[in-house]
Structure 1
Amino acid sequence: MSFDPTAVTTLTFDSYSTLVDVDAAEQALAARVDDPEPVSKLWRSRSIEYTLVSNHIDAYQTFYEMNRDALTYALDAHSVDLPDEEREEILSVYHELDVFDDVREGMQRLREAGYDLYVVSNGNPEMLDSMVDHADIDGLLEDTISADEVETFKPDAEIYRRAAARTGTPIEEMAHAAALWFDVQGAQHAGMQGIWMNRKDTPWEPFDGEPSLTVGTIHDIADELDA
């Protein structure tokens, strides 16, 4: 469906890869791993895969724990032997990820235009608290909404319905912005408009329709809503 800016009263944003850059996690590996890039990519992909599988086998644990298991697998798969203390230091980078350059000013534009802004994320509350603090966006958000509240991960419709209930907004008046394609699709199937944050200029997945809107930055969202 095409994007309808007149229907939007509340905007929600994913966190990782949308507001903060998970690729920065590679830097935490660089001092300890000879070739950090493939380890970092496997760590991230396994973390996402674990959340998707857990939705179907009733194996919920917090996203931080999922990340720990994924990091363990990525290190083992590349024959990297690190003590537990160093593994925890690498894992803790998720509390201090770099915020994308457009986030603060883009969100400020949306706030000034009268939109309520929320984060809806797989991250557990402690991760989201540290992300918001490190990104310095607390004053721009109404609140954060975690998958931990419903103990299920994206793209399950329950987390988006939870977001609608928590914000007190009819779900059809919400637009959700995310960098991950399945998050956009999950939001749309739950009844929201889906905004794909295509930060890496990659093609859309040829599966189950198009996003309501595709943008490169949060400023693009503000421009679309102003049009």
Structure 2
Amino acid sequence: MRHHAYVFDAYGTLFDVHAAVRRHADKIGPDGQQLSEIWRAKQLEYSWTRTLMGSYADFWQLTEQSLDFAFLKVPSADKKLRQDLLDAYWRLDCYPEVPVVLKALKADGARLAILSNGSPAMLEAAVKSAALDQVLDDIFSVDIVRRFKTDPSVYDLVTTGWRLYPDAVSFQSSNRWDIAGAAKFGFRTVWINRTNQPDEYRDLAPGLILPSLKGLLTGD
């Protein structure tokens, strides 16, 4: 079923969060995947703890801090690559189907936006690098409310900004916890389960589960 308003999470949904480490895999060595997974896990953990404490720091600061922690946990990785990895994070690869899907939805008359933990500068850089700036109507960053997902005030950025009821919005995310938060808020939710993860948060089920964004066009 097509909708009039589609909102997408950015990191892990449109942009591959592991692309930065993969770009320098030869220099990092055999523990690159571990480094990348720790980097991502801590980035999210810091966002949740900061929100619970009421001590906001923008997502770029958390990205830097979580990479530093990852280097401590993976001593085999060369810390001299720190700046290279951070620079690469500003130009993350988008998933292959993303441009085609977003352009098709836009051509169909849909309104499109990103709703992300990312700072405005991070999101603007990623969107321009992936040449998505021509198809997106808005980029909503948590920086406005200074709280991270899954705080309800984050999802309210869309309904207030677009003057819509929550159930008028189709929200897509690869992060199951994000889908739970969006479902609780009242969005119609689509979990993009790229890596075939088991379901959780059973009381806050997604409206639809797809292996990639292509299913928004094909229904599977």
What secondary structure does 2:209 align onto? Answer: strand
Q: Which residue of 1 aligns with 2:66?
A: 70
The equivalent position to 1:156 in structure 2, one of 145, 151, 154, is 151
Residue 49 in structure 1 maps to residue 45 in structure 2: yes
How large is the RMSD of aligned CA atoms in angstroms? Answer: 1.8
Superposed displacement of residue 26, structure 1: 2.0
Aligned residue type for 1:61 = A
User: Is the 1:10–1:169 contact (alpha carbons within 8 Å) kept by the matching residues of 2?
Assistant: no
Residue 82 in structure 1 maps to residue 79 in structure 2: yes
**Runs (5+) with no aligned partner, structure 1:** none
Give the distance between the partners of 2:148 and 2:43, measured in 1 at CA: 12
User: How many residue pairs get matched?
Assistant: 218
Give the distance between the partners of 1:73 and 1:32, measured in 2 at CA: 19
Residue 100 in structure 1 maps to residue 95 in structure 2: yes
User: Is the 2:21–2:85 contact (alpha carbons within 8 Å) kept by the matching residues of 1?
Assistant: no
TM, length-normalised to structure 1 = 0.89
List per-residue Cα deviations over 1:12-39 (Å, max 9, x = no partner): 0001110111121222453443321111
What secondary structure does 1:138 align onto? Answer: coil
Matches within 5 A, 1:1-227: 5=1, 8-34=3-29, 35-79=31-75, 80=77, 82-83=79-80, 86-205=81-200, 207-224=202-219
User: Is the 1:9–1:173 contact (alpha carbons within 8 Å) kept by the matching residues of 2?
Assistant: yes
**Runs (5+) with no aligned partner, structure 2:** none
Give the distance between the partners of 1:28 and 1:58, measured in 2 at CA: 35
Give the distance between the partners of 1:99 and 1:73, measured in 2 at CA: 25
What secondary structure does 2:118 align onto? Answer: coil
What is the percentage of aligned positions where both structures have the same residue? 28
Give the distance between the partners of 1:204 and 1:26, measured in 2 at CA: 27
TM, length-normalised to structure 2 = 0.92
Aligned residue type for 2:70 = A
Detail structure 1 runs of 4+ shifted over 6 Å in the superposition. none
List per-residue Cα deviations over 1:32-82 (Å, max 9, x = no partner): 433211111111101011101111001211111001010011101222562
User: Is the 2:189–2:207 contact (alpha carbons within 8 Å) kept by the matching residues of 1?
Assistant: yes
Give the distance between the partners of 1:175 and 1:129, measured in 2 at CA: 22
Aligned residue type for 2:52 = H
